[in-house]
Structure formats: structure tokens, C-alpha cells
Structure 1
């Protein structure tokens, strides 16, 4: 414990509250103690750490899509920071400690381009998916289609940027053949031909691959 006798302006040695006084080679020094990290985090803090780890794990393989879908810009936030902010409180469901991703609310892209419209999907034999959409609205037909497929059973992703122009209105995606009979989750989005803008990603639901 420190003792001081000359009020707030006096010299002292030792610890007084959160301040430490010392003398080195005749020079008096005073410094504040740093914040002490709590040894016993609250349940809310533990839950937030679990959610953060879960979303980070899901986003990490999507680095390329996230970099395009959430451009860093001049805000000081990285693309991953933006994606975490968009998904952390919206796209996680369940009760502690059994949290999971709510795929219907997950997004990898947010922007000003026309959202996908009139979207439908059909499964075809040999692990193929047939996508259809409308070339409608204010966006250009040159916007490029981006596809995301997630196989939860195998914990594998299929990512396909620049799959087709918006004007094509259809695209057939060949999945790995061993995806047959697996349930997959599906998203799509559009990116401007010059890469300077994106649409919001659109969750198309899930289906069993044929």
C-alpha cells in the first residue's frame, strides 16, 4: 500500500487505489493500472463468444464472396467486420450452448443492385441444379450471377462467381456427384459487370440433390 502526505500533488511510493508511485534514480514516477480482465465472464459474454466463433467459422470459407459482397470502402471496417455485423445478431438461432446458423437470414452480400426476381430452382439427375430468374427491373442485363451452395452434411461449399449474365435468365450448375441425396442450402446474388456494386444475396431455401 502507498502512503502520501502532501495532498494530490505530493510524491508517493507504492500503490494508492489504481495508481502506482515509484522513484527511479531520484525521479518520481506515477502510473495508472491497466484494466483487469474479468476472470469470471457472464453467461451473456460466454454466449456472445460462442456466437462469434460459430459465425466466424461459417464465414471463413466464403472470404471471396464476402470481400465482393461487403466491400471494405472507407469506413475502416473490413469486409469480414461488415459481414459479421450483418449476421451475428440476425442469422444465429437456438439456445445456449446449442447455437446454429439460421440459413434463411444469412447474407453474404448487401448492395444497391436490383435484387434477384422471379427466382426458381429445379433439381435434375446427376447432381445438377437448374436456376431460373427474370431479367427485370432497373439493373443491366450484364450483371453477373453469383451462386452459393452449402452442403451441411459434408460441411462443404460450392462457390461460383460470374456464373452467367442476368440476361441469360437460366443456368445449370453441376454439383459434385457425391452430393447426391444430400440436403443443400442455396443462395444467389448479382454483381455489376464492373464490380462496383452488388445486390443483396437471396436465400432460395433447401433441397435434396438428385
Structure 2
């Protein structure tokens, strides 16, 4: 039962049929509840997009809070909502079931502070050195803080370094362990004012060490190849029976079982992630 606390013209609170009414950040919201049917391919794609996005942002909480906090002010959204929405819409690539992150399109902060010039990154002993032009003017200050994010897709983790250096220093050093330094790295940098009232868009500093396969991708590829091997065996038997019978389907039970397995395996391969290449 729903309650109209503000009279018949006010917002309901509670459940009416398969609708639930409630307040979210001061705004009236209604959502549908109930049992879901078998998901369609577009629905499955949407689920995977959300899952990939959530995995991407999992280790970026503090960075995202600073990077999108100003944009979220005065809205019904929080910083994580805004970051999730942006990356789900703009930073993914591929089709279901092979949707993945496009690291060139990440935006980990968004603001009006001008972009810093002459950004460079190099691998050095024990980590990474990032440098920039330390000059400042009325729109950017010498005491702006640099924030750095290093994404490591092969382990599915990220490392955030907040307030790693002042703009006036012109460079910073990011310590990474040897194993981390040799894997695929996707680095980003943003600048935020000392009072937290201005932030820059993040800048992608470019891929380091090329693109490697994650453990999840390796597992998916192995599973795909195992299923493909079985499918090739079944397909060979199925096509031979059809050829021997002049492409007229036999009515015996053995063929029906073979045909059923052939169709099931074929359908699984079409929607199974991990296809090589």
C-alpha cells in the first residue's frame, strides 16, 4: 500500500501494484518491480556494459569523488553516478558478449580548469616519471595538486595517487613494483585547485607496454576453445549423417540427440566470449 502524505496531488510513498514510489536525494522516484522474463540480447548487452563499467571504477572511488564532485553539486546525482553514466556510454567498445573498456576514452575528472601543457610520461627505475609545464596564470595556480591514476587491465586493478605533487614542481614520480611496471599500463593525470573548487578534465597519457590479456580473458578464451573443439566434432558427425542421407533428416532417436547437441553448441559459441582474434 502507498501513502499520499501530501494529499491526492502529492507524491506517493510505498507500493502500488508492481510500482514502488519513494524519495531519492529530495526527488520523487518511481520504479517497476516484479519477476523478469528471459533477457533479450540487448538486455544482456546492457547488463555486461554495467558490469564492465563497475569493474573499471571499483578502485577509483577517491579519484572519482574529487574528479566529478564539483559537477555533481546541486544535482540529484553523486560523483560515482556521473562517472558511471559517462563511462558506460562513452568508454566501452565491442559487441556483446565481448564488450570491454576503451582506455583511450576514459574521463576520470571533468571541470573547467584549463588543460596543463607539455605533459609527458616515461618509465624509469622503480616506476614512472610524469612531467608538465609548471607555468601558471589567473586560471591555474602554482599550488594546484596533481592527481594520477594508473589502470592495470591485466590484473583488473587501478592505483590512485591523490595530491602526488604541486603544479609548481613540474613533475612527479609514481612508484610501481617490478611486476606492475612490466604489465599493460594506462595512465591518467588531473589537476585540482588547493581549495577543491576547480578541477581539470583528466588527460590520458598513453598506453605503456602494449595490450595484454587479463586472467578473465585467458579463462574465457580457454573455455571457448574447449567448446569449439567439441562443436567441431559434433558438427563433423552431423554433416556426415546429412550427406549420407542426401540432406534428409533421419527420424531415429540417435540423430535427434545429435542434432540437438549440434544446435545447442552452435548457439553457445555464438554468444560465448573469448573468441580468439
| TM-score normalised by L of structure 2 | 0.60
* Partner deviation per Cα, 1:86-138 (whole Å, 9 max, x = no partner): 1111100011111110001011110111223211111112x321111113463
Aligned pair 1:53/2:51, yes or no?
yes
| 1:5-44 pair list within 5 angstroms | 33-34=17-18, 37-44=35-42
* Shift of residue 33, structure 1, vs aligned partner: 4.0
The separation in 2 between residues aligned to 1:55 and 1:180, in whole angstroms, is 24
Which residues of structure 1 form unaligned runs of 5+?
Answer: 1-31
User: Would you say 1:88 and 2:54 are equivalent positions?
Assistant: no
What is the aligned residue count? 178
Distance 1:104 1:61 in 2: 18
Q: What are the ranges of 5 or more consecutive residues in structure 2 without an aligned counterpart? A: 1-15, 19-31, 211-277
Counterparts of 2:181 and 2:48, CA distance in 1: 32
Instruction: State how far apart, in whole Å, the 2-side matches of 1:37 and 1:135 are.
Output: 57
Three-state SS of the structure 2 residue aligned to 1:162 is strand
Give the SS at the match of 2:196: coil
Higher relative contact order (CA 8 A, sep 6+): 1
Distance 1:140 1:108 in 2: 21
- 1:171 and 1:67 mapped to 2: Cα distance? 22
* CA RMSD across the alignment: 2.0
- Any residues of structure 2 matched to 1:159-170 within 5 Å, and which? 159-170=160-171
Deviation string 1:126-167 (CA, Å, 9 cap, x unpaired) is: x32111111346311111000111122222322111011111
How far did residue 82 of structure 1 move? 0.5
CA drift at 1:77: 0.3
Give the equivalent residue in structure 1 for 2:201: 200
Runs of 4+ in 1 over 6 A off after TM superposition: none
Q: Which has the larger displacement, 55-64 or 149-158?
A: 149-158
User: Which residue is 2:116 aligned to?
Assistant: 116
State the match for 2:257 in structure 1: none
In the alignment, which residue of structure 1 is the partner of 2:149? 148
